[in-house]
Amino acid sequence: AIGQHTREHGVSAALKQGQITPTELCQKCLSLIKKTKFLNAYITVSEEVALKQAEESEKRYKNGQPLGDLDGIPIAVKDNFSTSGIETTCASNMLKGYVPPYNATVVQKLLDQGALLMGKTNLDEFAMGSGSTDGVFGPVKNPWSYSKQYREKRKQNPHSKSGDSDWLITGGSSGGSAAAVSAFTCYAALGSDTGGSTRNPAAHCGLVGFKPSYGLVSRHGLIPLVNSMDVPGILTRCVDDAAMVLGVLAGHDPKDSTTVHDPINKPLVLSSLADVSKLCIGIPKEYLVPELSSEIQSLWSRAADLFESEGAKVIEVSLPHTSYSIVCYHVLCTSEVASNMARFDGLQYGHRCDIDVSTEAMYAATRREGFNDVVRGRILSGNFFLLKENYENYFVKAQKVRRLIADDFVNAFNSGVDVLLTPTTLSEAVPYLEFIKEDNRTRSAQDDIFTQPVNMAGLPAVSIPVALSNQGLPIGLQFIGRAFYDQQLLTVAKWFEKQVQFPVIQLQELMDDCSAILENEKLASVSLKQ
């Protein structure tokens, strides 16, 4: 972890005590990035930038004046956040070679705290997808495919064909960020979350994936997908680290008018819940769907039983409009996408085709070459829903349904519930070859079922790794909180994390000489698992 002062200390304390220097830490992570290059987690590795930042950080530590707990800590950033002087592609042909002149607010805030930017991570093109398989730089491989836990289970299974084609997807669309943290190449990473894009890969990669309340963290410099639902997300190896990063990122930004004025205490330190007897946990009955894997269903029940056995009140709640949420999301998401993607016209930045017959021809060819089928499909749907004759029947109606979905959550919380406990995904990570049998739209509609209503309601939610499946793969459960009760939500998640004791991924074969530093549990996160 990155923080606390307990018996053992995280890497933040190791830096403060001089047991390791920022440059050594940076070089260890860079060498792991090279070793795990085949995972395809990074699109750009900013080696020179990171080493220069480490050098600056080192001077501060020598003078005994580090900027904070993140000073000298390696981080990674999803490649749809603008980074000044570093290519930002959205994994698309449209933005290949685009170098922004400014940093996204969240990136700037991390750099201002002395964090080391290791690189930009892979994603589905323009963050549209739930597998991290559809970007122009190819799919991301899940580090758990190479873990001792999964490999040993594969050996026991007589039907498993071993070979290079059996690797698993990371989930998406922030799969590169999830793989980067999971493979120890950094301590925290930024993702974005519009319908589950941070929580879904977190669940598949055994990480904490946090989606803050809408308006708590600035979107300035995050290349927009759906302005009314996008939020920057945080991926870490433990809850305390996520809280630490949130403390740095949260707050009003004059460049993003949707951010609220400081309702959060900084720095954000989570107290340890002595007991959960005053808590009321809600279990939404509509989330028990036939497609949910029986293993996840039983872990979900066991988690509810755990809260109950520790004295919490666990009640079933109803979110009656859940079944409409995917359709509603499809209309709103594609409409906003169509509007947002209009900026990529080949005139100002990004790709421009060679056709110069007319402006219209240039626009059309540029967009044909710059966008993949998934993106073009969403633009077409969205423009259809926004046509004058369809506007009332689709877009306006979907906005009304969205309000009903948000109200469902409000009603649940008003009935005395503190947090909701749900699955994050329908199943564990699946092999790539199985995943691509269905198209992106079908997949996204299935995979977003538990995560996406939260984005429509603007609530905070976090996926917490709970246990390994029979296959030896991570399974996550999701906690959902009231709007702007992010700290309370993370406090409950931290208590739960401590109870379940999720195992550390074992990547010895991948790491060989680097593994010594990582097996030193103390340095596996920024703060400290207590």
Active site residues: 78, 173, 197
For 307: left if phi > 0, alpha if psi spans -120 to 50, otherwise beta; the answer is alpha
The angle that helices 486-500 and 239-249 make with each other, rounded to 10 degrees, is 160
Contact 445, 326 (CB under 8 A): yes
CA distance 14 to 18: 6
CA distance 160 to 149: 15
CA distance 517 to 505: 14
Contact 73, 2 (CB under 8 A): yes
Contact 5, 13 (CB under 8 A): yes
523 HSE (CA, 13 A, CB side): 24
Backbone phi, then psi, for 69, in 5-degree steps?
-65, -20
Contact 491, 462 (CB under 8 A): no
Structure tokens at 202: 């977190």
Torsion sign (Cα): 117, 123, 126, 130: negative
Torsion sign (Cα): 251, 256, 258, 261: positive
The angle that helices 322-341 and 373-386 make with each other, rounded to 10 degrees, is 100
Contact 12, 73 (CB under 8 A): yes
Residue ranges of alpha helices (H) inside 192-313 are: 199-204, 239-249, 294-309
CA 177 to chain CA mean position, Å: 7
